[in-house]
Structure 1
Amino acid sequence: MAPDYRHFTAQFASTPRGARVARRLAVRRMEEWGYPPASDASRTIALVVGELAANAVRHGRVPGHGFALSLALDTKTDVIRVEVADAASAKRPPVTAPSAHPDGESGRGLLLVDALAVRWGWTPRDPVGKTVWAEVSCGC
């Protein structure tokens, strides 16, 4: 009998390259869990991880600290919880996805997460920082 939960956690440098590596490793882990890279579930997780990791690098970077990515698959519900934790306590995401200006070059990341996730939010991280999370249904 397979376990009800599968879990993956890794640390990354708070750099654009670190965010790209996190996204690639998430896709690789999805494949190991039975979701091919071309599947809707894997592509959705790749987008959510990419956006949350990019936000951690851009808005949550603290010199000397990286960010953490955690994926948790509940095999009973087919829901994956994505968590990205950074060390920046002062910069907190909004309670709801902000509206982006149509001609703006940024500001759409949380809109994408909001559209793709069943729900999302953030929690303070002990002893410092925050964790932004999103739950994605993979039962497409």
Structure 2
Amino acid sequence: MAGAASAPYPTLPPDLTPTRIGWDASTLDPLQPVAQARRRSRAWVQTHWRIPCDIAESVELAVSELCTNAVRHGGGLAGLELLRVSPSRYGPSSLRVLVTDHRPDRPPRTTPPAGPLSEHGHGLTLVCALTLSWGWHTLGTDQKQVWCKFAVPGPYVAGC
């Protein structure tokens, strides 16, 4: 086509995947809920949201730590949600991991582990180091939700 200017970047189709995905514990393998939650989360953020590998790995690790805490200290994993937030005038694009458990009376603790070789006590410290922020709140009288937030690039980034 003579005289037609080519676009500097290829036009990508709109990403029509949901901006929120989640699983309740009943849909996860009852014998391996943490491993399955971790695998599903990594697959979703890479395949559907096209999150870069380094961030996808950090999301997978945070999901693993928060779900493990829910199983060990929170009376069992109740649910996992991933929330992708588009950029706006209020902030950049982000991804939140929300893990729900059954013990609202047991707030998450960030007490230091007994030592550097201790097998316990590093989870929330690791989540804090990987994410922009984290926190928790109660959901009614029978659940709490622990969350963390990641900065992610805009909507059309190639995955791994």
Q: Same fold judged by TM-score > 0.5?
A: yes
Number of the residue aligned with 2:86:
75
TM-score after normalising by structure 1: 0.84
Aligned to 1:91: 106
Are the counterparts in 2 of residues 16 and 54 from structure 1 also a CA contact under 8 Å?
no
Contact persistence 1:12–1:22 (CA under 8 A): no
Q: How many pairs align?
A: 131
Hey, what's the Cα distance between the residues in 1 that align with 2:94 and 2:136?
18
Q: Does structure 1 residue 134 correspond to structure 2 residue 145?
A: no
- Consecutive unaligned residues of structure 2, counting only runs of 5 or more, are 1-13, 154-160
Cα distance in 1 between the residues matched to 2:31 and 2:59: 18
| C-alpha separation in 2, matches of 1:12 and 1:47 | 18
Tell me what 1:27 maps to: 42
Q: Does 1:61 align with 2:72?
A: no
Identical residues among aligned pairs (%): 29
1:43 aligns to 2:57 (yes or no): yes
Q: Which has the larger radius of gyration?
A: 2
1:123 maps to what in 2?
Answer: 137
Query: What's the secondary structure of 2:104's corresponding residue?
Result: coil
Unaligned runs of 5+ in 1: none
> Is the 8 Å Cα contact of residues 84 and 131 (structure 1) preserved in structure 2?
yes
In the aligned structure 2, how far is the partner of 1:84 from the partner of 1:16? 18
1:16 and 1:51, CA in 2 relative to 1: closer, same or farther beyond 3 A? Answer: farther
**Normalising to structure 2: TM-score of the pair?**
0.74
- Give the superposition deviation at 1:41: 1.2
Q: Distance in 1 between matches of 2:125 and 2:99?
A: 17
Task: State the 1:102 CA deviation.
Answer: 1.2
| Pair 43,16 (structure 1): closer, same or farther in 2 beyond 3 Å | farther
